[in-house]
């Protein structure tokens, strides 16, 4: 009796573990917030300029703009892969400041619709059978959303940001500073040349040290015995 009670309990534990394993493998559990830049880029300019560039990017690819302002842009584009299927791609862009630049986030959602036909029936009165409902050819066709998923293709977002760069304002490059010319180095001849010597003026002679003027001495007087020269 105890064995029969233990078997269902064991089966229940196995079934719960199997359910837990399936839950661990679900898309929500496998979603991770990694450090990749698939859905965001830092671009030059203000957030308003980045969102305007995003709006022009969507318009250049045939998207219908559903919302556009200085902080967010939303656009959609329709596709018809088959007659009974319809697809719509919705892009949502957000622009936020990041210092002197702008941080642009983008997310694309792909919605898939299928054409569902609902046949209508009409009642026809029959004498012996009463009223009988018979299908007629008129149908009410309607599009029903059958799938919706976020686009995770990295190449898709890379192409979007490459196109976005073409509509960003061109930032003028800062002018380069003028080169400063170094002062010319003195030549070797100039460096070794002796300074020119200026001759000093001779000192003027003072009156005390001036040499006395030479007075000529008188010659000897003629004697009486000396003959007088005749005239």
Distance CA 105, CA 145 (A): 26
Three-state DSSP class for 55? Answer: helix
Q: Are 114 and 130 in contact (CB under 8 A)?
A: no
Average pLDDT over residues 89-108: 96
∠ CA(173), CA(178), CA(183), 5° rounding? 160
Query: Is residue 2 within a helix (H) or strand (E), and if so which, with residue range?
Result: helix 2-24
pLDDT tens track for 25-74: 566 677 777 777 899 999 999 999 999 999 999 999 999 999 999 999 99
Q: Which residue has the higher pLDDT, 116 or 164?
A: 164
Supply 60's token pair: 């250049």
3-state secondary structure of 32: coil
Task: Tell me the average pLDDT across 197-203.
Answer: 61
pLDDT at 225: 53
Does the pLDDT value for residue 118 go beyond 50?
A: yes
The whole-number average pLDDT for the span 145-156 is 93
The highest-confidence range among 44-53, 117-126, 211-220, by mean pLDDT, is 44-53
Distance CA 59, CA 168 (A): 14
Q: Residue 206 has what DSSP assignment? A: P
The correct CATH number of 35-113+148-165 out of 3.30.530.50, 3.40.630.40, 1.20.1250.20, 3.40.50.1970 is 3.30.530.50
Chain length of the chain:
231
Q: Is 62 left (phi over 0), alpha (psi -120 to 50) or beta?
A: left
DSSP code of 207? G
**Tokens 């990041």 belong to residue:** 98
What does the mean pLDDT of the chain come to?
Answer: 75
Residue 156: CB atoms within 10 A of its CB come to 14
pLDDT of residue 213: 55
Q: End-to-end distance of the chain based on CA atoms, in angstroms?
A: 203
- Within 8 A by CB and 6+ apart from 115, the residues are 83, 84, 85, 86, 141, 142, 143, 144
What is the pTM (predicted TM-score) of this model?
0.56
* pLDDT value of residue 82: 87
Residue with tokens 């007088």: 228
DSSP 8-state secondary structure symbol assigned to residue 82: S
Tell me how far apart the alpha carbons of residues 43 and 106 are, in angstroms, rounded to a whole number: 13
pLDDT at 25: 58
């Amino acid at each position: 009796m105890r064995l029969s009670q233990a078997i269902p309990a064991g089966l229940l534990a196995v079934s719960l573990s199997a359910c837990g394993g399936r839950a661990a493998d679900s898309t929500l559990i496998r979603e991770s917030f990694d450090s990749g830049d698939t859905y965001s880029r830092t671009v030059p300019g203000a957030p308003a300029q980045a969102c305007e560039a995003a709006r022009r990017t969507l318009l250049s690819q045939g998207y219908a703009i559903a919302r556009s302002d200085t902080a967010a842009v939303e656009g959609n584009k329709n596709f018809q892969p088959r007659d009974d299927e319809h697809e719509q791609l919705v892009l949502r862009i957000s622009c936020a400041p990041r210092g002197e630049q702008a941080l642009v986030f983008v997310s694309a959602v792909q919605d898939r619709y299928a054409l569902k036909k609902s046949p209508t029936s009409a009642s026809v009165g029959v004498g012996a059978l009463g009223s009988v409902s018979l299908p007629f050819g008129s149908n009410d066709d309607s599009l029903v959303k059958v799938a919706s998923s976020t686009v995770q293709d990295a190449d898709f977002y890379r192409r979007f940001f490459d196109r976005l760069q073409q509509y960003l304002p061109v930032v003028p490059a800062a002018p380069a500073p003028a080169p400063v010319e170094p002062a010319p180095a003195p030549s070797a001849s100039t460096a070794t040349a002796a300074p020119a010597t200026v001759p000093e003026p001779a000192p003027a002679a003072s009156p005390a040290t001036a040499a006395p003027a030479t007075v000529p001495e008188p010659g000897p007087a003629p004697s009486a015995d000396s003959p007088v020269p005749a005239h």
